[in-house]
Amino acid sequence: MAEKYQALYRKWRPLVFEDVVGQDHVSDTLKNSITSGRIAHAYLFCGTRGTGKTSSAKIFSRAVNCENAKDGNPCNECETCRGIMDGSILDVYEMDAASNSGIDNIREIRDEVIYSPTGSKYKVYIVDEAHMLTTEAFNALLKTLEEPPEHVIFILATTEPHKIPATILSRCQRFDFRRIGVVDIEKRLNKIIAAENIKITPDAVELVAELADGSMRDGLSILDQCAAYAKDELRYDDIVDIVGIADKRIIFPIADFIADFNSGEALKATDEFLKQGKEATDFLEELISHFRALMICKATESPEGILEKSAEITEKYKEQAQKFSVDRLLGAISQLSDFLLQAKKLSAPEIAVEMAVVKLCAKANASDASELANRLAAVEKELEAIKAGGVTVKRTPTSRAAAKIETTDEPKPAAPHIDDAKLWTRWREALTLVKDRSKSLYTFLFNAKALFFGDEVELVIASEMAYNKINTPEGRQYLEELFSSVQGTQLRVTVSGKEGPKNREAEDGGASILDIAAKKDLLGEKMTVVED
């Protein structure tokens, strides 16, 4: 009888900490805690899907009980390790909170922890998707987490740490698992490809690593699916056809046509893509992602860490970004986001795609942004000259295109408070949450500065377009909910420009903030705080 096939992500699940890709900061800390004997009673593993949270928890559960642990790693050969791996030793208990979220499940664990382990040193309870536990279940777990028996270790794993009550967070050692870089995923894939004798071209491996989107498990699942398709060698085109994505080799030329205002050729290339049976919404999302990459290349000198793309692709983005202004790229992302919403509502979504391409190619559409950029540059230059001369400006409108400037000897008002304000320490964490939920919103916020004033976060926005999109009553309320979940306390949000505070109540005309992140609630249910 033929041996039953096992999926690659299960077959190649990490067995020691060195196998966990891209999480050295977590692996090294856990190994050191084991070798030094400084083992905590509760851990919280946070991170996006497929980054190694559950695998690290299983490795740790064996390592603390291993009879021949070496450098903090389990040997995976002793009787205890093999018993835990095959399930014959029941001292390691794994629970999926997504399907066992009630108080009865936690009460069962609470009643069991008082008994000593039968075949190992520690009882280890791994609770996956811990944020799915109910408020009552968290309350039942609280006392056990605070004063557990010495032989018990809890490991909570979650993709949404902002939904974990603060009273639970304060009783756990928290480890944040990072999104895995394309290069690290590609290295691991090549190792598995060689071991499995899979024939695949290098550019196809690179594409799989990019499609993994920071998740090693997703990368292995895509590779597994595609390997079953190819009879001979797996090629780049095969990956595109199987996964059903927009081919970057089409997206780059379309972006070139848009840069040159060539609507005819842009529409022709777009039509060829849609005739291949690809989804219109996928095309718009890929185009948004493409213009985001161009914007990042335009806005920073070192985009590699943000883009998480290969060196070759990053260079292509850099080269193409020179054809656009930052304002035109920001406008393109905003317009594409609007058309994406329309495409999801239309019975013929390809119409929204064609409208988007035509509008992006319109010179009038781009000239408005260019004119605004030129006017802003002139104003900034004028202000710099005035600042150097120590004078103030009075403007008297004389026409729609000109203004009369008078100078006085009065001193310029004090500089804004940006330089000496306290920066918000949780800003990077808030940005990560935004990026996971809405990349379009992230593009408007990643260059902002967040200042902290006790119960208030002030966002300093450099781009006027981004400022106008974000600074609405609905937008501020939306960000208040998001930032409060990250901080753990209620926060107010205000928005100002890079030259200092603007009229915070001036923008009250519309919802915007990319239509409140494409009409989706980034936070899901509001975080419930369990009282201590």
Task: Chunk the chain into consecutive blocks of 10 residues (it has 532) and report each block's average pLDDT, rounded to whole numbers.
Answer: 77 95 95 94 95 96 94 94 92 90 87 89 94 92 88 95 94 94 92 94 91 92 88 86 80 94 94 84 92 94 82 89 93 94 92 94 68 61 65 45 41 43 84 81 83 87 81 85 87 77 46 57 41 40
Contacts of range 488-493, beta carbons closer than 8 Å, 24 or more positions apart = 488/166, 488/169, 488/529, 489/455, 490/455, 491/455, 491/456, 491/457, 492/455, 492/456, 492/457, 493/456, 493/457, 493/458, 493/459
**Eight-state DSSP code of residue 61:** H
- Residue 366 is predicted with a pLDDT of 63
Q: What is the pTM of this model?
A: 0.64
The amino acid at 244: G
Cα distance between residue 352 and residue 342, in whole Å: 6
- Residue 387 is predicted with a pLDDT of 61
Place of tokens 């480890």: 175
Token couple for 23: 């999480």
Cα distance between residue 513 and residue 505, in whole Å: 15
Give whole-number Cα distances, 201 to 221, 235, 236, in Å.
18, 6, 7
- Residue 529 is predicted with a pLDDT of 38
Contacts of range 363-372, beta carbons closer than 8 Å, 24 or more positions apart = 363/261, 365/331, 365/335, 366/261, 366/328, 366/331, 369/325, 369/327, 369/328, 369/330, 369/331, 370/325, 370/327, 370/328, 372/327, 372/464
- Residue 389 is predicted with a pLDDT of 59
- Residue 379 is predicted with a pLDDT of 67
Instruction: Judge contact between 43 and 154, C-beta under 8 A.
Output: yes
